[in-house]
Structure 1
Amino acid sequence: MNMVSSAQRPRHSFQTDDPALTPIAAKVQAGERLSFEDGVTLYRSGDILAVGWLANLVRERLHGNTAYFNVNRHINPTNVCVASCRLCAFGRKKGEAGTYTMALEEAWETAASGLTEAVTEFHIVGGLHPDLPFEYFMDLVRGLKVRFPKVHVKAFTMVEVAFLAKRGKMTIPETLERMKAAGVDSMPGGGAEIFADRVRHIICDHKIDGGEWLETARMAHKIGLRSNATMLYGHVENEEDRVDHLVRLREVQDDTGGFQTFIPLAFHPENTALGHIPRTTGMLDIKQIAIGRLMLDNFPHIKSYWQMVSPKMAQIALRFGADDIDGTVIEEKIYHDAGATTPQGMRRADLVRLITEAGREPFERDTLYRAVTRSEDSFTVAV
């Protein structure tokens, strides 16, 4: 058979060196949903350009040439954590060397230190502290809202919500309602890791299970709190585990429509109990973005998080299914404790350059993907 090589494939038509992709391509081009088996086939294919071509087709169908970014600031109020997740280099046991817990004034000062470019989002996640009361976290959010009323507060993963509910002797719906009343505007997607029980027992046995994570997300969406969703890949999971994760996210999204963005997170093994596992390859990083776009047909956005895969890979991913590269971030701690060598923040102009050089059109967004217009040192969000 005389097949066109991947390097010679024209943009306007689908061709592949892998015949197993042909029926999948027909579904994608017809706008049909891919099956579990299709997802496994995509992971096992070596024709990354064909997989990427399909993902880019969907990405451009949804977003044209637009690539999103935002100006955000991370706040990690404490690294004290009762969990003992083998995947984590951030958490510390109470009393252990290297622990910290911010006083509220310190947290608010930390937030202010990231306002040099007028951030539009505070991203708040931290450890499961055994002693901090529920009101500490609510006061943290209230204080941010008083001091920075225009800034969107994206706070507390599903894992943190379940822990805070238990600490406060509340139901999860009650906890979510109180968070919302305090000023939480949306929720990050962390803690999802991999939903499969077999994997979860190895990497994060002390967290809520996959079903509880999904149910917490479902309850948050039902009261109007939108969230992101993540998947940590490149450790002890297999291809079926990854596809199972994506399908389960897709099922919840069918029900609630509350997920905004899917964010694949490359596992960083340094300084963790799984330090013997090699880092992910560029092939897997790009494939994960592309397959996320193809399988999650009901997710509006797919993010290539530059902190995890490097700015260069995030830039390339804009042609492999991603439409978002996250934001300025400013002082990210969790992945850097696990050995990330990327900068702990990036300026707005650098993100614009990355996007422009990828041949995409930069679109500064707020957390809800509304357009942000800037003046000298302030911003306006389109409503």
Structure 2
Amino acid sequence: MTSWLPAARDDPAGLPDEAYVALLGADGDELDELGALADELRQKTVGDALTVVVNRNLDPGLVLTPDHLDALVSEAWALGATEVCLQGPLPDAAGPDAAVELVARITAVAPLHVHAFRPAEVEAAAARRGSSVADFLTTARAAGLGSVPGTAARILDDSVRAALTGGTDIPAARWVELVRTAHEAGLRSTATIVYGHVETAAQQVAHLRALAAIQDDTGGFTELIAMPLVDVPPGLAARGASARETRALHAVARLLLHGRIDHLQAAWPKLDRAQVLAVLRGGADDLGGLLLDGTLDPAAGPEAGRVLTADDVTTIAAELGRPVRQRTTLYGEVPPERVTVGR
């Protein structure tokens, strides 16, 4: 493995697959060297600021009435949020244009960025209204949809996806097609990888290569979010993601995606504090969202109870010796009057 480190320093994104597979196995001093290299690349690419977005998650299936939605959106805005993230399927009884109407209602209440509809939910929304995926996305964007989550990518290998979900996942090729269509409609998205279960290092590299190919064609990804599998399906013999694997994967992702996807997120709801700090010292630059719960209905989001406070962010940044920058969903600047983190 050591022989690939000088080559990685010279050409981080230009190594063969076998090199990245070898780097994913780094440990001890070699892992420290790999992490330091990834962190140098992070600093050269995006600078030292630790970025974070102030947002709120809402599950459309738990937001039961229009008035309830209005109140939750108003509360998010009052708490300083710049983004509302919708995660989860629409209720079965929702009308044909429910997804578009939901976006339009949110943006009518407050000028929030709406980050909504995972690939399978995009497909379902288009089918509900009897339109093509492209037409749905164009209409939703006109109603105020700002970006889509590139989640449920898991590992873009159908055998792995079948093992994780019992065959209920959309095929990997369809996930790719749906994300490409979103990008072509003018919407940005996140990119994700879920690791630490039944996949191999070679499959992790192939997944990152697939994301890189999409980015080369569309430029639509804003960031990569690498998440260990936390909720293991019954009967799945998952190995579990070690702290070593977590560090190595984040570092390799920084290298392989260099020049393509600038931002690498530390998925703090899935990692313990030590791991968050480790990946932020080893290639990651972003903390994702605060995931505000609010007080009106804290259980209305799919990750209720997992909240990062402004003080938490300040403390983490101080441990890293880095400044904090509150960002928009697309990594732009937040108007000064809306900044609540890192003043």
What's the TM-score, normalizing by structure 2? 0.89
2:208 aligns to what? 246
Is 1:296 the counterpart of 2:234 in the alignment? no
Greater relative CO (CA pairs within 8 A, separation 6+): 2
CA RMSD of aligned residues (A): 2.2
Is 1:187 the counterpart of 2:168 in the alignment? no
**Contact persistence 2:198–2:237 (CA under 8 A):** no
**Contact persistence 1:71–1:348 (CA under 8 A):** no
The aligned runs of 1:197-236 (5 Å cut-off) are 197-204=158-165, 205-236=167-198
Is 1:282 the counterpart of 2:282 in the alignment? no
- AA aligned opposite 2:243: G
Question: 1:70 and 1:317 mapped to 2: Cα distance?
Answer: 18
Deviations 1:307-333 (A, max 9, x none): 111344223321100010112112485
Question: 1:368 and 1:288 mapped to 2: Cα distance?
Answer: 24
2:296 aligns to what? none
1:89 aligns to what? none
Deviations 1:263-321 (A, max 9, x none): 01111126x42576464222222222112111112101110111111344223321100
- CA shift at 1:115, angstroms? 3.5
**Contact persistence 1:327–1:351 (CA under 8 A):** no
Relative to structure 1, the CA distance from residue 70 to residue 56 in structure 2 (aligned partners, 3 Å threshold; closer, same or farther) is: same
The aligned runs of 1:161-172 (5 Å cut-off) are 161-172=122-133
- CA shift at 1:131, angstroms? 3.7
**Contact persistence 1:176–1:220 (CA under 8 A):** yes
The aligned runs of 1:78-89 (5 Å cut-off) are 78=61
Is 1:319 the counterpart of 2:281 in the alignment? yes
Question: 2:156 and 2:280 mapped to 1: Cα distance?
Answer: 27
Is 1:21 the counterpart of 2:5 in the alignment? no
Match of 2:269, SS state, is helix
Deviations 1:334-374 (A, max 9, x none): 467xxxxxx51122232122112211121111111112244
**Contact persistence 1:124–1:156 (CA under 8 A):** yes
The aligned runs of 1:348-367 (5 Å cut-off) are 348-367=310-329
Any stretches of 5+ residues in structure 2 without a counterpart?
Answer: 294-298
**Contact persistence 1:43–1:291 (CA under 8 A):** yes
- CA shift at 1:132, angstroms? 2.6
Number of matched pairs:
330
- CA shift at 1:245, angstroms? 0.6
The aligned runs of 1:1-383 (5 Å cut-off) are 20-46=1-27, 47-78=30-61, 100=62, 102-127=64-89, 129-149=91-111, 151-204=112-165, 205-269=167-231, 272-274=233-235, 277=238, 279-297=240-258, 298-331=260-293, 333-334=301-302, 343-375=305-337, 378-379=338-339
Question: 1:60 and 1:225 mapped to 2: Cα distance?
Answer: 27
Question: 1:113 and 1:278 mapped to 2: Cα distance?
Answer: 41
Match of 1:247, SS state, is helix
- Bigger shift: 41-50 or 217-226? 41-50
Relative to structure 1, the CA distance from residue 274 to residue 74 in structure 2 (aligned partners, 3 Å threshold; closer, same or farther) is: farther
**Contact persistence 1:128–1:163 (CA under 8 A):** no
Question: 1:133 and 1:207 mapped to 2: Cα distance?
Answer: 24
**Contact persistence 1:269–1:275 (CA under 8 A):** no
Question: 2:10 and 2:302 mapped to 1: Cα distance?
Answer: 39
**Contact persistence 1:65–1:361 (CA under 8 A):** yes
Match of 2:288, SS state, is strand
- CA shift at 1:31, angstroms? 4.9
- AA aligned opposite 2:283: G
- CA shift at 1:129, angstroms? 4.6
**Contact persistence 1:34–1:294 (CA under 8 A):** no
Question: 2:57 and 2:86 mapped to 1: Cα distance?
Answer: 6
- CA shift at 1:128, angstroms? 6.0
Question: 2:67 and 2:7 mapped to 1: Cα distance?
Answer: 57
Match of 1:113, SS state, is helix
Match of 1:146, SS state, is helix
**Contact persistence 1:316–1:358 (CA under 8 A):** no
- Aligned-pair identity (%): 28
- AA aligned opposite 2:200: N
